[in-house]
């Protein structure tokens, strides 16, 4: 994939969903789940290059992400959707983990964080059942 261009603005997020510029870096603190993927322009380019199968992947991802977000919000877990080039996750006193979207092995994915333990990065499209199992495991939900 092409090299990553990090935007000029660093945005902080803690228990608030906001609309973000695709050129911004998203910084995450606390507990939450970040769904990340390409911008609409990037999606269009990928679909032109890779064909309709890529469009189906994005449709599947959007469906599962939306369904999973409803589940998480019902549990009081903050959900963020982003096309930001990078996501920075603060982990207590251990520092920051940087996830550069265009350098990852897939176009879409999910980052789980509680602000204390190492974040969990899930790449690609999973079923909603698979994601719920991941959420339950990571956040120790019943």
Tell me if residue 8 falls in helix, strand or coil. coil
SS3 sequence of 85-132: CEEEEEECCCEEEEEEHHHCCCCCEEEEECCCCCCEEEECCCCHHHHH
pLDDT in tens, 12-55: 222 223 334 456 889 999 999 999 999 999 999 999 999 999 99
Q: Look at residue 104 and tell me if it is in a domain.
A: yes
In a domain, 57, yes or no: yes
* This prediction's pTM: 0.82
Does the residue 45 lie in any domain? no
- Count of the separate structural domains present in the chain: 1
Whole-number pLDDT of residue 75: 94
Beta bridge partners of 99: 87
Q: Does the residue 44 lie in any domain?
A: no
Confidence check: pLDDT of 121 > 70: yes
Residues spanned by the domain of 90: 26-34+52-117+125-137
In angstroms, the CA 25 to CA 92 distance is 19
At 13 the pLDDT is: 24
């Amino acid at each position: 994939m092409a090299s990553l261009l990090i935007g000029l603005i660093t945005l902080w997020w803690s228990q608030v969903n906001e609309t973000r510029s695709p050129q911004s870096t998203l910084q995450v603190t606390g507990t939450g789940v970040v769904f990340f993927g390409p911008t609409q322009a990037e999606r269009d380019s990928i679909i032109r290059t890779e064909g309709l199968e890529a469009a189906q992947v994005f449709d599947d991802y959007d469906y599962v992400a939306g369904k999973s977000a409803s589940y998480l919000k019902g549990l009081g877990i903050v959900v963020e959707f982003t096309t930001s080039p990078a996501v920075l996750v603060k982990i207590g006193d251990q520092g920051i983990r940087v996830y550069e979207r265009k350098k990852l092995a897939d176009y879409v994915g999910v980052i789980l964080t509680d602000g204390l333990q190492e974040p969990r990065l899930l790449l690609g499209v999973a079923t909603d059942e698979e994601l719920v199992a991941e959420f339950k495991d990571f956040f120790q939900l019943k």
